[in-house]
Homo-oligomer: A and B are copies of this chain.
Amino acid sequence: MIETLRVAVIGAGRMGIDHIERLSRRISGARVSVVVDVDQARAEAAVAGLPDAVALTDADEALARGDVDAVLIATPGFLHEDTVLKALEKDLPILCEKPLTPDAESALRVVRAEEKLGRQRIQVGFMRRFDAEYAQLGGVIREEKLGELLMLHCAHRNPDTPAGFTNEMLINDSVVHEFDVIRFLAGEEITSVQVRLGKPTRNAPEGQHDPQHVLIETASGVLADVEIYVNAQFGYEVATQAVFEQGTVTIGGDSGPYMRTAGTWGGRVTPGFEERFGAAYDVEVQAWADAARRGTIGGPSAWDGYATAACCEAGVQAQKTGEKVTVNLVERPALYGQAREAELV
């Protein structure tokens, strides 16, 4: 087993920098040996203060180095396929930020390449599975503590969106997380997606219809619905209510200090995803590093990347038509096991 995993981080943007900090200052058994960014200055800034880490502008060069045991990919999604395939060729453990690739066709190419390699090397960055509350809800479902799961009511709210956040990005960047956790919780694939567009907020940028109501069905008939609302102003919130035969379970509520002052009681809303899911990212990357040191993966697979890409394609089509759109997947390769088992972290 590798004692300290030497990681090449590809992409030194917001998520890349966050992962570099995590690998260097918080988790155990891994360190950053290389940071790659097309912007040389950004790569160099990222390695400042890291002993023995080098800054490069070329991913190929990084993959060829002797001090790289594993690759963490945090570039924009359209660049993922190329790096993933090259890292697969070198048989390196990969943690690829979501999405695996931007569409189902390219994601399937990655799946086929990994299938050909014959062992799982790719873990996709669906970090919610590592959140303590999702994990506990998953336990309630699998142990059938409240009977069968029947419905999932989900809300995904952001305070606002950066410039250029399009209608399609509501599905591809935000609902994609819901697609993954609905699959994870239900333990089976999503079979259809429908989208309702109603009265929009006046706080959305032009060209973006916000909020939207996404209706989802799984193979056994679990009905999920997602309110995606990316200019909700009040703060960040990701919440799920699961409805069972014998009760309900709600996650994503607020915690922290509880205050009374000036005629109100309550607390602070989580301001963003770092505060909400920061601990989940730590657990995710620790799990990946621990697994990579043993030669395996420790989370969502390339199949999960492919299946969610197919859901996103259906979702974007459903946005445009208002109709229920079927999600069609190829047969699940044996490499990825059975659904229920595969979904477990």
Contact A243 B269 (CB under 8 A): no
Segment at the B interface, from A91-99, A250-258, A300-308: A250-258
- Does A115 sit within 8 A of B, measured CB to CB? no
Q: State the CA gap A246–B157 with chains docked (Å).
A: 11
Q: State the CA gap A217–B51 with chains docked (Å).
A: 49
Contact B243 A261 (CB under 8 A): no
A229's nearest neighbour on chain B, judged by CB, is: B243
- Does A189 sit within 8 A of B, measured CB to CB? no
Within 8 A of B (CB), among A163-188: none
Contact A234 B260 (CB under 8 A): yes
Closest CB in chain B relative to A142 CB, distance in Å: 14
- Does A296 sit within 8 A of B, measured CB to CB? no
Closest CB in chain B relative to A236 CB, distance in Å: 10
Can you list, as one digit per residue, whether each of A221-233 has a CB less than 8 Å from chain B (1) or not (0)? 1110101010011
**Given known contacts A150-B201, A243-B229, A265-B266, is B254 in contact with A248 (CB within 8 Å)?**
no
- Residues of B within 8 Å of A339, CB to CB, are none
**Given known contacts A256-B133, A265-B269, is B245 in contact with A201 (CB within 8 Å)?**
yes
- Residues of B within 8 Å of A265, CB to CB, are 254, 266-269
**Given known contacts A146-B261, A223-B196, A229-B243, is B266 in contact with A151 (CB within 8 Å)?**
no
- Does A276 sit within 8 A of B, measured CB to CB? no
Contact A264 B267 (CB under 8 A): yes
- Does A286 sit within 8 A of B, measured CB to CB? yes
- Residues of B within 8 Å of A260, CB to CB, are 234-235, 237, 247-249, 269
**Given known contacts A235-B263, A253-B258, A260-B234, is B198 in contact with A217 (CB within 8 Å)?**
yes
Contact B28 A25 (CB under 8 A): yes
- Residues of B within 8 Å of A76, CB to CB, are none
Closest CB in chain B relative to A20 CB, distance in Å: 12
A259's nearest neighbour on chain B, judged by CB, is: B249
- Does A333 sit within 8 A of B, measured CB to CB? no
- Residues of B within 8 Å of A150, CB to CB, are 198-201, 211, 229
14 CB < 8 A contacts A-B: A26-B27, A133-B256, A148-B202, A153-B155, A153-B227, A198-B223, A199-B222, A233-B245, A246-B261, A248-B260, A248-B261, A251-B258, A260-B269, A264-B268
Binding site for B on A (CB under 8 A): 3, 24-29, 51, 132-133, 136-137, 140, 146-151, 153, 155, 157, 196, 198-203, 211, 213, 215, 217, 220-223, 225, 227, 229, 232-235, 237, 243-251, 253-269, 271, 279, 286, 290
